Structure 1
Amino acid sequence: MNHTLRLQIPEALYEPLLKVAAEMGRTPEELAIDWLAAAVQEYVDDPLEKFIGAFSSNIPDWADQHDRYIGQSLINTGNTEENS
């Protein structure tokens, strides 16, 4: 079953969407559906979800923002190694 979802997309998002879709020979709607599906799948299949609540932390939004914190830690580690 398909559903219709109507979105108002800001110009700053729509123009790049049009450009990438044209480069790929696809419609903006097809590309947006693929990107949305990938984002939803990543959220649904989050490998760290089983650890949420398993550890005590002083970071109150870790459950929702763990990808951001892990990414930032990796960036910081990479910068430290480059500067060593």
Structure 2
Amino acid sequence: MNTITLKLSSVLYQTLQNLAVQTGRSPEEIATELLAKDLEIIDDPVDEFIGAFQSNIPDWGENHDYYLSQELQENHHD
């Protein structure tokens, strides 16, 4: 893990603080999550398997969440 120091406007800092209080998380956690989303760097546990198996689904790497949810809906309902 690396550290970065940011200078935030008072309004941005207060907004971050308010979100932290509302969610019970630290401002650092929220800022890291928002930055990761903006940069599209999401820690997805399925990513390590992309390319490990043959598939006839050409966009599985990008849309695996969709395909997994479809499979769950079709085959694992009450």
Q: TM-score, normalised by structure 1?
A: 0.46
> Higher helix proportion, which one?
1
